[in-house]
Chain A
C-alpha cells in the first residue's frame, strides 16, 4: 500500500503546490498554518509508515512546502505594507494570548528561505541509514518549529515555536552527529535555552509593564499605546538583544555554534546555520527594535562593537582551523556578525542589508554545509592536512564548492554581495544625519572582515580541492557526487544566483517591513 501511496503522494504534492503557486486564486488552505502543520503531519506519517518510505514522505512534504513558500512570495501584495495572510484565533483571552500568524515582507523572505532549505535538507538526508525513521521525524518537527517562529505574531507562540525547534536539534546532533556530539548537543541546547530564558522574562516584563495587556506583536509595536518608559527600555533592550543574539552566535556567546555545527549531521547543520540561526537577527528586527526604540537608540552603538568583534574574531579564528567543517562554522559566525552589525546601524540600507544577508547567509551556509557533508561522506575525513586535490576525483563538487566559497566571500553576482554591500552602505550613511558616528569608525574594520573571509575561503579551496592529492586512496576510491547529492546544492546555488543577479524583488520585499520601521524609530538622527 505504501509504495503506491508514496508514488502518488509525491507528484501530487509537487503539482498541487506548483499549481497553487502559479494560480492567484482564493486560498484553499490557510497557507501559514499549513506550513507549520504539514511538517508535523509528515512527522506523524513517518512515525507510522514503514521505514523505507520515510524519506519519500519527507521529500513530498518538503516539495509541497517549497511550493507554498514560493506561492507566498509571489502572491504577496507589494502595494500594501503591514501583515498579510493573517490568521488569528484567540487562545487565552484573559491572558492576552492569541494564535496569530502573519507575514510581512521580511518574514515572507524568511519563510521562503525555510522552505528552500527544507527542500534541500530533505534531499541531502537521502542516504541517512542510522535510525532513519526517527531522523526524519525530528527533521520534520524542526522545520515546523522554525516556520512557526518566523510566522508568529504573538510573543507566546513565537517563543513556543522557537524552543520547539531547539529540541529536535539537540537530538539530531546528539544521535546522528560526529565527533564530540554529546558535548556539542548539550552545549548548544543549554546556550540557546539560556538565551531564551532572558527572552521569556523580557516578554513577560513587557506584557505586565505595557498599558495594553497583550502579547500581540502588532499592538505592542505601537510605543504610544504601550507606554513603555525609557528606563524600562534601557534595562530590557540589551537583555533581549543578547537573548536573541545568542541564537545568532553573538560574541561572546558564540562558542556553542562551531561545536554544534562541527558535530551536527549535514541536514541539521544546514537547517540550523541557514534557518534557526537567522532567527536571532530576525527577532531583533521583529520584536526588540519596534517594541523598545529608545532602548535601541541608547544601546545599539555599543552592541555594534560586539557584532564587529563577531565578524573579525570569527574570521581570524577561521583562518587557523584544521577541520574543514569548523572553518565553515566560524565563517557562519562571522557572517552573522555582519547581520547584527547591519541591524545596529539603524539605517534603512543597513537593516535591508541585514535582511538580505540573513536570506543569503541562510542559502549559502546551507549550500556550504551540504558540500562539506557530501565531501566528508566520501573522503571520511575533514582534516585539512589529509585532504587535497579533490577536484581530480570530484570535479562537479569542486566547482560547486568554488561557487559556494565565492558566494560566502561576497562576489558580485552572488547573493552574499548584495547583503554585505547594503550593510556597509548603511554603516557609512549613518554619519550623514549628524556628523561622524561610531559606525563610520567601525565600518573599515568590517570591510577588513570581508578581506579575511576571502583569505580563509581561498585557503580552504586551495587546500581541499586543488594542489597535489595527498592521499592516494582518495583518488582511486572517491567518486564525484551523484545526482541526488548534486541536486540540492545546485538548487541552492541557483537561488543564490537569483538574489545576486536580480536583487530588486528581494530588497523591495524587505523594504516593505524596514521602511515603516525606520520611519517609526527615526534612526540616530
Chain B
C-alpha cells in the first residue's frame, strides 16, 4: 500500500519546483521574481508543516489530523518516514528555507536571469535530500543521494560568468562522480553478498556471516564514497574550493543540508545494515581515524584562512569530524548527540552564512579584514558572528557547547576518551580562528562606517538564529527529547 504521507514533503517540494518553472514561462521576462520566491517559500513551509501530519506524533497542535497507528510507508516499504527521518527532514527543510532567504539577498547583489531555474533546482535537490532520509533500501538511497548531489553540482556552478564558481562546479562534479562510483561499487558487493537491497534485510543476513576481505572492501568503499559527501578528511579536498567558489547560499546549503543528508545515509546504512559483529569493529575503526583526521586537519588548515567562506569550509570539515565522534559511538546516546548537534549546527551555520551574504551584498568582499568594525555598521551582524561562531567553537553558554558535551560524552561512554580529548583540544584551536572573525567584527573602528542595511525578514531570521543558539545552550531539554525519540525509533 502506498501511503502518501510517507513522501508528502517531497511532493510539496517537487510540486512547487515545477510550479516555479511554469510560472516563470508564463511571466514576462522583465517581471520581478517576487511571485516565484513566494511560491518557493510557501512550498518549503508547506513541506515543513506536512511533517507534522506525517509524524502524527500525538503532540500535533492541529489535533489528530494524521495520527498513524504505524509508521507511514510507501513503495513496498522502500520509503519509510519514521521519527528519525522526520528529524532529519526538519533540519534539511529548515536549511532549504534559510538558503532561499540567503539567495534572495545574494541575487540582489549578483543579478541573474535564471532565478527560476535556481529556485527549482534547489527545491529538487532538497527533495532528494529529504527522500534520502526515509530511504530504507540502497537503490532508493542512491537515487535520492544522486538527486541531491547532481542538483548541487548545478547550483555550485550557477554563476556562469564567474570563474571561481565554474571551477567549483567542475571540481565538485568530478570528485563527486568519482565518490558516487565508489559508493555504488560498494553497494554492488553488498548486494552480491546478501542478495537483497533492503537495508534491514542486509543486516539480518550479514549477522550470520563471518567477516571476509571482500565484505571489508565493500565497507571501505561505502565509507569513502559517503565521506566525500560530508567532507570528512582525507576526502575533503574539494570542500574549500567548492565552498569558496560556489554562490554563498549554496555554500550554506552544502554545509548544512547536504551534510545532514550524508549523516542520515550513514546512520541508516551503518547502524541498521552493517551493525553486525563481523563488520562493526572495521568501520568503527575507520570512522575513528576519519573523525580524528577531520578534526585535526580541518581545524589546523582553517587557522591561516583569510577568506571567510574558505574558513567556513575548513570549519565544516572539523564539524563533520565532531559529529562523527558521536556517530561512531552510536547507540541511543551517540545518535541522540548527532541529531542534537546537527540541529544546533543548522542555526549557527545558517546565521553565519546569512550574515556573510548580507555583508557581501554591501561590501562585495568575503575577506575577513573587511569585517572590521562590523559592530558599528550593524550591531546585529556583530552579535550574530560572535554568538554563532562561538557556538561552533563549542563555548558555553551557546548551543554548540551542549552539543559537544553530548557528542564527546557519547564517545567517552564507549571508551573513546582519546578521541574526545583530541576533539576538545582542537576545539580550543578552532576558537582561535573563530575569534579572529569576531575580533575583526567587534574590536576595531570601521574603515567605512556606512551602516549595513537589511530588511525585516533578514533581521528577524538573524535574531531567531541567535536566540536559538543561546537558548539551546541553557535549555536543550525539548530538542534533546525530540532527538532521543528520533534516535530510539531506529532501534525499534
A positions within 8 Å CB-CB of B: 91-92, 94-95, 134, 156, 159-164, 166-167, 170-171, 174-175, 182, 185-186, 189-190, 193-194, 197-198, 200-201, 204-205, 207-208
Q: Which of B26-34, B256-264, B359-367, B419-427 lines the interface with chain A?
A: B419-427
B473 touching A160, Cβ below 8 Å: yes
Pick from A134, A159, A162, A193: contact of B428, CB below 8 A.
A193
A197 touching B439, Cβ below 8 Å: no
A204 touching B431, Cβ below 8 Å: no
A171 touching B413, Cβ below 8 Å: no
Q: How far is the CA of A164 from the CA of B405 in the complex (A)?
A: 15
Measured between beta carbons, the chain B residues less than 8 angstroms from A208 are: 409, 412-413
Interface centre among B375, B417, B432, B480 (most CB of A within 10 A): B417
Closest to B429 in A: A190
Measured between beta carbons, the chain B residues less than 8 angstroms from A92 are: 476-477, 480
Of all A-B residue pairs in the complex, the 8 with the closest CB atoms, nearest first, are A197-B424, A163-B396, A160-B396, A208-B413, A204-B412, A194-B428, A204-B409, A164-B397
**Contact A207 to B439, CB < 8 A, known contacts A160-B396, A189-B431, A197-B428:** no
Please classify the interface of chain B as helix (H, G, I), strand (E, B), loop, or mixed, using the class held by over half of its residues: helix
Measured between beta carbons, the chain B residues less than 8 angstroms from A159 are: 396
**Can you name 12 A-B pairs with beta carbons within 8 Å?**
A92-B480, A95-B409, A159-B396, A163-B396, A171-B442, A186-B439, A198-B421, A201-B412, A201-B421, A201-B424, A204-B405, A207-B412
Measured between beta carbons, the chain A residues less than 8 angstroms from B401 are: 160, 163
Measured between beta carbons, the chain A residues less than 8 angstroms from B395 are: 163, 166-167, 193
Q: Could you tell me which residues of chain B, from 86 to 100, have a CB within 8 Å of some CB in chain A?
A: none
For residue B172, give the distance in angstroms from its CB to the closest CB of chain A.
34
A175 touching B413, Cβ below 8 Å: no
A197 touching B442, Cβ below 8 Å: no
Q: Is B390 an interface residue (CB 8 A)?
A: yes
Measured between beta carbons, the chain B residues less than 8 angstroms from A198 are: 421, 424
Q: Is B435 an interface residue (CB 8 A)?
A: yes
A201 touching B476, Cβ below 8 Å: no
For residue A129, give the distance in angstroms from its CB to the closest CB of chain B.
15
A174 touching B396, Cβ below 8 Å: no
Measured between beta carbons, the chain A residues less than 8 angstroms from B477 are: 91-92
**Contact A190 to B417, CB < 8 A, known contacts A92-B480, A200-B405, A200-B408:** no
Q: Could you tell me which residues of chain B, from 473 to 490, have a CB within 8 Å of some CB in chain A?
A: 473-477, 480, 484
A205 touching B417, Cβ below 8 Å: yes
Beyond A95-B406, A159-B396, A164-B397: 16 further Cβ-contacts under 8 Å? Answer: A134-B375, A160-B396, A160-B473, A161-B396, A161-B397, A167-B390, A167-B395, A171-B442, A186-B432, A193-B427, A197-B425, A198-B424, A201-B424, A204-B405, A207-B412, A208-B412
Q: Is B443 an interface residue (CB 8 A)?
A: yes
A204 touching B420, Cβ below 8 Å: yes
Pick from A156, A162, A167: contact of B405, CB below 8 A.
A156
Q: How far is the CA of A152 from the CA of B424 in the complex (A)?
A: 22
A170 touching B435, Cβ below 8 Å: yes
Interface centre among A163, A190, A201 (most CB of B within 10 A): A201
Closest to B418 in A: A201
For residue B322, give the distance in angstroms from its CB to the closest CB of chain A.
13
Closest to A208 in B: B413
Q: How far is the CA of A207 from the CA of B413 in the complex (A)?
A: 9
Q: How far is the CA of A160 from the CA of B474 in the complex (A)?
A: 8
**Contact A174 to B443, CB < 8 A, known contacts A204-B409, A204-B420:** yes
Q: How far is the CA of A207 from the CA of B410 in the complex (A)?
A: 11
For residue B480, give the distance in angstroms from its CB to the closest CB of chain A.
6
Measured between beta carbons, the chain A residues less than 8 angstroms from B424 are: 197-198, 200-201
Pick from A94, A156, A170, A201: contact of B417, CB below 8 A.
A201
B397 touching A160, Cβ below 8 Å: yes
Pick from A161, A186, A194, A205: contact of B435, CB below 8 A.
A186
Measured between beta carbons, the chain B residues less than 8 angstroms from A166 are: 395
Measured between beta carbons, the chain A residues less than 8 angstroms from B421 are: 197-198, 201
Q: How far is the CA of A175 from the CA of B405 in the complex (A)?
A: 30
Q: How far is the CA of A19 from the CA of B421 in the complex (A)?
A: 49
Q: How far is the CA of A159 from the CA of B390 in the complex (A)?
A: 16
Measured between beta carbons, the chain B residues less than 8 angstroms from A162 are: 396
Pick from B396, B412, B439: contact of A182, CB below 8 A.
B439
For residue A178, give the distance in angstroms from its CB to the closest CB of chain B.
13
Measured between beta carbons, the chain A residues less than 8 angstroms from B412 are: 201, 204-205, 207-208
Closest to A145 in B: B397
B420 touching A190, Cβ below 8 Å: no
Measured between beta carbons, the chain A residues less than 8 angstroms from B413 are: 208
Interface centre among B375, B397, B421, B439 (most CB of A within 10 A): B397
B390 touching A194, Cβ below 8 Å: no
**Contact A194 to B480, CB < 8 A, known contacts A182-B439, A200-B405, A201-B408:** no
Closest to B333 in A: A95
Q: Could you tell me which residues of chain B, from 409 to 457, have a CB within 8 Å of some CB in chain A?
A: 409, 412-413, 417, 420-421, 424-425, 427-428, 431-432, 435, 439, 442-443
Q: How far is the CA of A182 from the CA of B436 in the complex (A)?
A: 10
Closest to A167 in B: B395
Measured between beta carbons, the chain B residues less than 8 angstroms from A161 are: 396-397
Closest to B409 in A: A204
For residue B398, give the distance in angstroms from its CB to the closest CB of chain A.
9
Measured between beta carbons, the chain A residues less than 8 angstroms from B480 are: 92, 95
Pick from A91, A95, A182, A200: contact of B443, CB below 8 A.
A182
**Contact A197 to B427, CB < 8 A, known contacts A163-B395, A174-B442:** yes
Interface centre among A94, A207, A208 (most CB of B within 10 A): A208
Measured between beta carbons, the chain B residues less than 8 angstroms from A200 are: 405, 408, 424
Q: How far is the CA of A259 from the CA of B397 in the complex (A)?
A: 26
A94 touching B396, Cβ below 8 Å: no
Q: How far is the CA of A189 from the CA of B396 in the complex (A)?
A: 13
A190 touching B439, Cβ below 8 Å: no
B396 touching A164, Cβ below 8 Å: yes
Measured between beta carbons, the chain B residues less than 8 angstroms from A185 are: 439
Q: How far is the CA of A3 from the CA of B474 in the complex (A)?
A: 34
Closest to B476 in A: A92
Measured between beta carbons, the chain B residues less than 8 angstroms from A91 are: 475, 477
Measured between beta carbons, the chain A residues less than 8 angstroms from B443 are: 174-175, 182
A94 touching B484, Cβ below 8 Å: yes
Q: Could you tell me which residues of chain B, from 362 to 416, have a CB within 8 Å of some CB in chain A?
A: 375, 390, 395-397, 401, 405-406, 408-409, 412-413
Q: How far is the CA of A201 from the CA of B325 in the complex (A)?
A: 14
Measured between beta carbons, the chain A residues less than 8 angstroms from B428 are: 190, 193-194, 197
Closest to A213 in B: B413
Q: How far is the CA of A22 from the CA of B408 in the complex (A)?
A: 47
Q: How far is the CA of A67 from the CA of B26 in the complex (A)?
A: 72
Pick from A160, A194, A201: contact of B420, CB below 8 A.
A201
For residue A373, give the distance in angstroms from its CB to the closest CB of chain B.
20
For residue B377, give the distance in angstroms from its CB to the closest CB of chain A.
14
Closest to A170 in B: B435
Measured between beta carbons, the chain A residues less than 8 angstroms from B442 are: 171, 174-175
For residue B123, give the distance in angstroms from its CB to the closest CB of chain A.
36
Measured between beta carbons, the chain A residues less than 8 angstroms from B408 are: 200-201, 204
Q: How far is the CA of A402 from the CA of B427 in the complex (A)?
A: 44
Q: How far is the CA of A452 from the CA of B151 in the complex (A)?
A: 71
Closest to B427 in A: A197
Q: How far is the CA of A95 from the CA of B336 in the complex (A)?
A: 11
Measured between beta carbons, the chain B residues less than 8 angstroms from A197 are: 421, 424-425, 427-428
**Contact A194 to B476, CB < 8 A, known contacts A95-B406, A164-B397, A201-B420:** no
Q: How far is the CA of A208 from the CA of B334 in the complex (A)?
A: 13
A194 touching B396, Cβ below 8 Å: no
For residue A168, give the distance in angstroms from its CB to the closest CB of chain B.
11
Q: How far is the CA of A156 from the CA of B405 in the complex (A)?
A: 9
B397 touching A189, Cβ below 8 Å: no
Closest to A200 in B: B424
Q: How far is the CA of A190 from the CA of B428 in the complex (A)?
A: 6
Measured between beta carbons, the chain B residues less than 8 angstroms from A160 are: 396-397, 401, 473-474
Measured between beta carbons, the chain B residues less than 8 angstroms from A170 are: 435
Closest to B376 in A: A131
